[in-house]
């Protein structure tokens, strides 16, 4: 079974790198993505305020954050363990609903002319 998907990223500096900086990276992020992903949304094609279009940002991170921060952690190892468990326990139906909501959110961003919407 083959699934077609498009890779997206936000405009964080590390995601939007187009200039070579060999002291930090072997290759600029945008060039690497272009070479390794058949379909990705390039930096100049993505809205500046893209949180409304990233299913991790508008749906999943808040759930993970609540689970991970439910109790205090006394070590980095404890925190890592809880993060891994939270990811493993994500409900697939919830993930599917977040992904399925993307087109509606895209239409709302277009209607807001690239800006934030509620």
Tokens in use for 114? Answer: 């690239």
pLDDT of amino acid 84: 94
Helix, strand, or coil here: 93? helix
For residues 22 and 20, what is the distance between their CA atoms, to the nearest angstrom? 6
For residues 20 and 74, what is the distance between their CA atoms, to the nearest angstrom? 39
Measured in whole angstroms, the distance separating CA 109 from the mean position of its chain's CA atoms is 17
Per-residue pLDDT tens over the stretch 9-60: 766 776 666 676 666 667 777 788 888 887 887 777 776 666 677 777 778 8
pLDDT of amino acid 80: 94
Task: Give the global pTM.
Answer: 0.57
């Amino acid at each position: 079974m083959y699934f077609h998907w498009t890779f997206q990223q936000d405009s964080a500096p590390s995601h939007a790198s187009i200039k070579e900086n060999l002291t930090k990276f072997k290759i600029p992020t945008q060039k690497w993505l272009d070479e390794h992903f058949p379909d990705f949304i390039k930096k100049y094609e993505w809205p500046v305020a893209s949180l409304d279009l990233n299913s991790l940002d508008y749906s999943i991170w808040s759930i993970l954050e609540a689970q991970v921060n439910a109790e205090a952690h006394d070590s980095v190892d404890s925190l890592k363990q809880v993060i891994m468990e939270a990811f493993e326990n994500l409900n697939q139906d919830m993930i599917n609903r977040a992904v399925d909501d993307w087109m509606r959110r895209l239409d709302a961003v277009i209607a807001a002319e690239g800006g934030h919407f509620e």
